[in-house]
Amino acid sequence: MSARDTSPSFRTTTTTSPKRRNAAHPSTMPSPSCCNTSAADLSLNIVVVGGNIAGLATAYALKKAGHKVLILEKSNGMARCPGSVRSTPNMTKILDRWGLGPALVKCAHKCEKIVFRTGKTGDLVAAMILNEEFMHDIAADFFLLQHHDLYTMLYELAQEVGVEFRFECSVTSVDSTSVSVTVESGERLFCDVIVGADGYKSIVRPIVTGELNNPQASNSDSGELNLSFIVPASKMKQHEDLRPFANMKMGDWTSWMGDGYILHGGFSGEGRDFTATMVYKFHNNSIYRAKGHENDQSPLARYSIDLQKFEPKTRKLLSLGQLVFSRVYRPDTGPENVVCEESRVTLVGDAAHPLMPVGNINAATGIEDAQTLGCLFSRLKTRSQISQLLNAYEDIRQPRSRFVQDADRGQHDLLSLPSGPMQEQRNAILRSAMVDEEKGGHMDEVIFREVWGKEIAIYSYDATEQVDDWWTKWGSMLVRGSTNGASHSTNVEVSISRAGW
Ligand SMILES: Cc1cc2nc3c(=O)[nH]c(=O)nc-3n(C[C@H](O)[C@H](O)[C@H](O)COP(=O)(O)OP(=O)(O)OC[C@H]3O[C@@H](n4cnc5c(N)ncnc54)[C@H](O)[C@@H]3O)c2cc1C
């Protein structure tokens, strides 16, 4: 390995030193026992805009890869969402590599069963049993955990390796030519690479795409309302008809498949609260257009939800719940490119692929982005490779993100079919692919794979292996190109999607 580049830390136009934040989080995490990446020969200065799940994960992976990383986060970093989040097997694999396996086991619950019911009547359709035999090929577990526990784990991990943080620091503009960000105070920070991890309404995304493509600006009258609730278990237990749900095993969850909606719920954390999320389709409804903002915690009655489409038990459950997160989402395929023209600004998480919020796979997709960037940038040897590695990131991530988005949308459409023959046909297929929970039995693996093939492909994905495969195919060309004295815009064509560098 060549000597490490000791480039100066972030250059700014003022002399203000970064505001360090006190670690006020409860420690849930043992020290990481392993990590997949070795450090790069050349250390870059990287600014990550946004410090939630994708930003923290990316900052950790890039710091571990040998770079200096600064997170700029507009919130104070202390707000915690009481909702739950799923660590799907593809995400669990990465967290395990980052040494978070023991922390996951400590604060998350393994999901062993997903029960599907009809939304209108509550009738049982089928159950998916995620036992060891079944999960064998997928090679990692499904967990349900509190969103704030995941945040805390990633925050502590990033802090431990030396990621720098500035909270209450809102980025107001990004310049891809000078590779700089300007923050609210007017201060401008220069760096080598900017990563936009600033979520669904990303301000970095237009710099990458060159278009003002904020999905919230859409004039469409239809879309989806995403709501997350918590219902205290103690309240549920006071109602005889809700006791079966109050007694659900931790980690397992139930999905009610309604006419134009899906409602999922289960227990995570210490089991004090049942957490539920709903995706509800709307058409021509001006109330959502007028709201158009997120994190509105109004009473459910303020939303025009047709409660007649819900079985009486879920109606009661909703009436007992407290809304903790809401977002109006308009289906969006996301940007075509996730790397800017100058190859210095890129996107991760919801900024890169605006999936339906509070879905199964959102956090996992952002963590895959992080691991991909980290693994690629741990191989950096020369400055000329920055653009090549960013374009490699795009080549690896874009097809995967598209696949995940399509599968997510397809599953959502299937599970929220309107009442009628198509819904009945879907239920018959689900019954044939899974088990009748009351009668027991085994799932038919062949039929199951036919029905859930895309989900299996999503969960089996290994982000680390994908980079290794890419490197095996193209890495030697990239190294050769750089050591042959190629400059900033080398012509070694290792990108499949982009010509000209
Ligand atoms: C408050 C909240 C609660 C959520 N709860 C759940 C949940 O319970 N279950 C679940 O599955 N998913 C939940 N999600 C969604 C899920 O966490 C994300 O979809 C997924 O993890 C991808 O995260 P992200 O980091 O890409 O985006 P986000 O979670 O949207 O994070 C973006 C971050 O960027 C920051 N930011 C934005 N603009 C700027 C700027 N200009 N300058 C500096 N910082 C900026 C934001 O403050 C935010 O911290 C929640 C999201 C939010 C914001």
CA-based nearest residue to 285, from 328, 226, 332, 241: 328
Centre of ligand 1 from the C-alpha of residue 44, in Å: 25
pLDDT tens column, 125-177? 988 888 776 677 777 888 999 899 999 999 999 999 999 999 999 999 999 99
Q: Is there an atom of ligand 1 within 6 Å of 83 CB?
A: yes
Q: Is there an atom of ligand 1 within 6 Å of 205 CB?
A: no
pLDDT at 486: 44
The contacts of residue 51 (CB under 8 Å, 6+ apart) are 59, 71, 72, 73, 75, 77, 155, 165, 167, 197
Q: At what angle do helices 445-460 and 385-415 cross, to 10 degrees?
A: 150
CB atoms within 10 A of CB 98: 26
Q: Is there an atom of ligand 1 within 6 Å of 55 CB?
A: yes
Q: Is there an atom of ligand 1 within 6 Å of 225 CB?
A: no
Instruction: Output DSSP code: residue 39.
Output: P
**Lowest-confidence segment of 69-73, 183-187, 233-237 by average pLDDT:** 233-237
| Contact by Cβ (8 Å): 263, 245 | no
- Helical segments of 263-384, H only: 286-291, 312-320, 362-377
Please tell me which residue, 368 or 431, carries the higher pLDDT value: 368
pLDDT tens column, 219-240? 566 778 888 888 999 999 999 9
β-sheet with 164-166: strand ranges across: 164-166, 68-72, 45-49, 193-196, 345-347
Test site for ligand 1: of 53, 80, 181, most ligand atoms within 8 A of the Cβ: 53
Burial of 179 (0-12, 13-18, 19+ CB in 10 A): buried
Q: Tell me the three-class secondary structure of 398-416, residue by residue.
A: HHHHHHHHHHHHHHHHHHC
Burial of 227 (0-12, 13-18, 19+ CB in 10 A): buried
pLDDT at 431: 87
Test site for ligand 1: of 91, 198, 324, most ligand atoms within 8 A of the Cβ: 198
DSSP reduced 3-state for 282: strand
Residue 79 has pLDDT above 60, yes or no: yes
Please tell me which residue, 356 or 199, carries the higher pLDDT value: 199
Q: Is there an atom of ligand 1 within 6 Å of 325 CB?
A: yes
Centre of ligand 1 from the C-alpha of residue 284, in Å: 27
Spatial distance between the Cα atoms of 389 and 495, rounded to a whole number of angstroms: 9
Tokens of 359: 């879905």
Spatial distance between the Cα atoms of 30 and 102, rounded to a whole number of angstroms: 7
Please state, rounded to an integer, the average pLDDT across all residues of the chain: 82
pLDDT at 449: 78
Spatial distance between the Cα atoms of 307 and 312, rounded to a whole number of angstroms: 9
Please tell me which residue, 132 or 206, carries the higher pLDDT value: 206
**Bridge partners for 217 per DSSP:** none
The contacts of residue 7 (CB under 8 Å, 6+ apart) are 42, 43, 44, 45, 192
Spatial distance between the Cα atoms of 140 and 89, rounded to a whole number of angstroms: 5
Centre of ligand 1 from the C-alpha of residue 362, in Å: 10
Which atom number of ligand 1 is nearest to the Cα of residue 349? 26
Burial of 156 (0-12, 13-18, 19+ CB in 10 A): buried
Spatial distance between the Cα atoms of 162 and 46, rounded to a whole number of angstroms: 13
Q: Is there an atom of ligand 1 within 6 Å of 170 CB?
A: yes
| Contact by Cβ (8 Å): 386, 377 | no
Which atom number of ligand 1 is nearest to the Cα of residue 50? 34
Q: Provide, rounded to the nearest whole percent, the portion of the chain with pLDDT above 90.
A: 53
**Bridge partners for 346 per DSSP:** 195, 339
pLDDT tens column, 320-341? 988 888 877 777 778 889 999 9
Q: Whose CA is nearest to atom 39 of ligand 1?
A: 198
pLDDT tens column, 245-278? 888 888 888 999 999 999 999 987 788 889 999 9
Question: What are the φ and ψ backbone dihedral angles of 24, each rounded to 5 degrees?
Answer: -110, 15
Centre of ligand 1 from the C-alpha of residue 168, in Å: 15
Q: Whose CA is nearest to atom 4 of ligand 1?
A: 81
Centre of ligand 1 from the C-alpha of residue 40, in Å: 29
Which atom number of ligand 1 is nearest to the Cα of residue 275? 8
Please tell me which residue, 309 or 200, carries the higher pLDDT value: 309
| Strand (E) or helix (H) holding 160 | helix 147-161
Torsion angle defined by CA atoms of residues 86, 90, 91 and 93, in that order, rounded to the nearest 10 degrees: 130
The contacts of residue 64 (CB under 8 Å, 6+ apart) are 35, 37, 39, 161, 374, 378
For residue 68, CA distances in Å to 38, 54, 88, 123 come to: 15, 17, 29, 54
Please tell me which residue, 409 or 339, carries the higher pLDDT value: 339
**Bridge partners for 339 per DSSP:** 346
| Strand (E) or helix (H) holding 428 | helix 421-433
**Bridge partners for 345 per DSSP:** 194
| Contact by Cβ (8 Å): 50, 73 | yes
Tokens of 474: 């193209």
Q: Whose CA is nearest to atom 21 of ligand 1?
A: 363
Residue 9 has pLDDT above 70, yes or no: no
**Lowest-confidence segment of 100-104, 153-157, 280-284, 408-412 by average pLDDT:** 280-284
Instruction: Output DSSP code: residue 436.
Output: B
Domains for the chain: give ranges and CATH numbers.
45-475 (3.50.50.60)
Q: Is there an atom of ligand 1 within 6 Å of 74 CB?
A: yes
Spatial distance between the Cα atoms of 216 and 223, rounded to a whole number of angstroms: 10
Q: Is there an atom of ligand 1 within 6 Å of 203 CB?
A: yes
